[in-house]
Amino acid sequence: MEMIVLNDIECTRETVQWLLEQNGLDLPADSQSFRELQHAVLRAFAEAHRINAARYRGNYAVRPQDPLLARAFSSEPRARRQPKPAAAQFSDLWQRYVDGKIKAGDWGHDMQRENRMSQSLFTEIAGDRPIDAYERSQISDFVNVLQHLPAMRGKDPRFKGKTSADLVQMTKADPTIKTMQSKTVKKHFSNISSFFGWCVRQGQLPSNPAEGVYQLKRTKRRQDERAAWTNADLKTWFTCPIYQGSQPQHRLKRGQEVRRDALYWLPILAVFHALRLEEGA
């Protein structure tokens, strides 16, 4: 007891060495860690003496008071850290994503085909991994490979059976091979980015790893681009004789006839659908 009162840690040396040997550990006796362990053992001796004295007096409910030991003897069960559930696989989540789009009527056959191609390219290039294993650098690599893939990959017999890595080497070695157009690259990237965005909304990811990775470069200067129609322009057009009534032989002169032909419907379709003129016709 005198050693405890005097805080003489040397009385614990043999006990500490025995504990280290029992646990297959080795600490130099002159190290700071060894001395800290001696202090801890001395505190345990003090608590043991206090508890034994209390029990001698009939108090068997006594518990350790030293914070170093109190937690170990706590009657409350320790909260176990729950293992993090394994992340779902890309392909499994993709199927759920596609099923939801089809069920909601958001995708027709063309959208299903385009997204199926995007998914196939992505898993070929980036792999089918747990959804939380993809990093921004891998998304960037995916875009870079797309930009070097041949435009006619599925039609030119030279490319049959080639992996994406093989095809990239071919296009880099032969500048005459036309590569995928920027708008096609953007389409595939947008499809994959939309999927990752869906994963975020479903709680599968904390953030979208594809967000901001790729932006389509302008192919025209701003001054060369067509200006969008203003509300005043639209009002002028849709109140013209074609819609309000025209003469049979002069569509832009006021009259009584409203002829619902291509000239009537195409501008309406253009307002509500992102179509080129030839697509609407």
> pLDDT category, 170, cuts 50, 70, 90?
very high
Q: Select the more confidently predicted residue: 173 or 53.
A: 173
Q: Is 251 helix (H, G, I), strand (E, B) or coil?
A: strand
List the single range of 65-74, 197-206, 261-270 with lowest mean pLDDT.
Answer: 65-74
- The percentage of residues in the chain with a pLDDT greater than 70, rounded to a whole number, is 86
Q: Is the pLDDT confidence value at 269 over 60?
A: yes
pTM: 0.52
H-type alpha helices, 23-135 = 32-56, 67-70, 90-103, 109-126
User: Is 38 exposed, middle or buried (CB count within 10 Å of its CB: 0-12, 13-18, 19+)?
Assistant: buried
Query: Can you give the residue ranges of every domain in the chain?
Result: 2-70, 91-216, 228-280
